[in-house]
């Protein structure tokens, strides 16, 4: 007979009960009972959580999940560690819902003219949520990320995002020319993401479509900020092309 306040999973009433969690009892020696206990424990925990605190949704839920990921995965700056972190953060954005519109905006400072703006959404711990918007036809000039990685999320309209990597050795302090490979060429629509690791696709630039666009840059500092900051990429002639695999001559232009 079930005791008050307890959940009992029992397949054979002749066996002794065993408590595996507060209020949760199972019989020994029963695989079925243990499987059931797992399901029941999950259901119990879930229903208890729902009673104690309504489950969060949308942006609030995203913040909780992203903050938990940052606490767990931020200590590995290797290429694989950044891939793991960025892909996990990207997955959390799948149900991001409606993101609050910032009250204040400033010029992005990363364009060749007016019409690109940056705001801020608070709530990230260990990372910063920048909210951007671009008027139709505007550009964010291609620039290298040298100390912070990024998950870009489309929220409204569309922008063309292109990522590049340097061929061979990277030297952000050099005035010499070099070759870059266009590794990603993407139309970023609402809900889509684009990832910038310090080791992969680490140069990016944006071109807004004819409706303009709006989205987030979830930016996480991985290294101390270097003296050369964020160099811009000046693209020259196409150096080679084999179908979509395109390389360009390039050089750095420091802001
Ligand atoms: Fe950027």
Residue pLDDT, tens place only, 108-149: 999 999 999 999 999 999 999 999 999 999 999 999 999 999
Question: What pLDDT was estimated at residue 162?
Answer: 98
**How many A from CA of 3 to the centre of ligand 1?**
60
**How many A from CA of 233 to the centre of ligand 1?**
12
**How many A from CA of 145 to the centre of ligand 1?**
6
Of 110 and 8, more confident: 110
**How many A from CA of 56 to the centre of ligand 1?**
30
Parallel/antiparallel/unpaired status of strands 148-166 and 24-27: unpaired
Question: What pLDDT was estimated at residue 51?
Answer: 52
**How many A from CA of 218 to the centre of ligand 1?**
10
Looking at the predicted structure, is the pLDDT value of residue 93 above 90? yes
Of 129 and 18, more confident: 129
Q: What percent of the chain has pLDDT over 70?
A: 79
Average pLDDT of every residue of the chain: 84
Question: What pLDDT was estimated at residue 186?
Answer: 98
pTM of the entire predicted model: 0.78
**How many A from CA of 31 to the centre of ligand 1?**
53
Give residue-wise pLDDT tens across range 236-254.
Answer: 999 999 988 999 999 999 8
Give residue-wise pLDDT tens across range 48-85.
Answer: 444 555 577 899 999 999 999 999 999 899 999 999 99
Q: How far is C-alpha 77 from the geometric centre of its chain's CA atoms? A: 15
Question: What pLDDT was estimated at residue 100?
Answer: 97
Looking at the predicted structure, is the pLDDT value of residue 28 above 90? no
**Pick from 197, 198, 194: which is nearest to 185 by CA?**
194
HEC readout, the chain: CCCCCCEEECCCCCCCEEEEECCEEEECCCHHHHHHHHHHHHHHHHHHHHHHCCCCCHHHHHHHHHHHHHHHHCCCCCHHHHHHHHHHHHHHHHHCCCCCCCCCCEECCCCCCCCEEEEEECCCCCCEEEEEEECCCCEEEEEECCCEEEEEEEEEEEEEEEEEEECCCCCCCCCCCEEEEEEEEEEECCCCEEEECCCCCCEEEEEEEEEEEEEEEEEEECCCCCCCCCCEEEEEEEEEEECCEEEEEEEEECC
- Average pLDDT on 88-109 reads 96
Give residue-wise pLDDT tens across range 186-203.
Answer: 999 999 999 999 999 999
- Average pLDDT on 36-42 reads 37
Is residue 251 within 8 A of residue 176, CB to CB? The reply is: yes
Q: Could you tell me the two tokens for 14?
A: 């002749």
| Complete domains list, the chain, with CATH | 7-52 (no CATH), 59-253 (2.60.120.10)
Residue 27: which pLDDT band, with cuts at 50, 70 and 90? very low
**How many A from CA of 243 to the centre of ligand 1?**
27
């Amino acid at each position: 007979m079930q005791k008050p306040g307890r959940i009992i999973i029992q397949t054979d009433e002749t066996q002794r009960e065993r408590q595996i969690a507060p209020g949760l009892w199972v019989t020994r020696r029963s695989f079925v009972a243990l499987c059931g206990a797992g399901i029941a424990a999950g259901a119990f925990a879930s229903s208890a959580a729902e009673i104690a605190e309504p489950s969060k949704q949308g942006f609030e839920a995203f913040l909780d999940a992203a903050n938990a990921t940052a606490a767990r995965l931020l200590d590995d700056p290797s290429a694989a560690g950044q891939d793991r972190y960025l892909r996990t953060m990207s997955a959390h954005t799948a149900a991001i819902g409606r993101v609050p519109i910032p009250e204040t905006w400033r010029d992005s400072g990363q364009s060749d003219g007016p019409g690109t703006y940056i705001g801020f959404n608070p709530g990230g711990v260990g990372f910063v949520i920048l909210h951007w918007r671009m008027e139709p036809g505007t550009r964010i000039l291609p620039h290298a990320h040298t100390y912070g990685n990024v998950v870009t999320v489309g929220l409204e309209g569309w922008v063309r995002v292109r990522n590049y990597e340097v061929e061979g050795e990277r030297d952000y302090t050099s005035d010499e020319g070099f070759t870059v490979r266009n590794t990603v060429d993407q139309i970023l629509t609402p809900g889509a993401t684009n990832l910038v690791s310090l080791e992969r696709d680490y140069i990016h630039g944006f071109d807004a479509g004819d409706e303009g666009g709006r989205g987030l840059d979830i930016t996480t500092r991985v290294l101390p900020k270097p003296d050369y900051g964020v160099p811009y990429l000046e693209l020259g002639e196409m150096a080679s092309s084999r179908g979509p695999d395109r390389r360009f001559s390039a050089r750095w232009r420091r802001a």
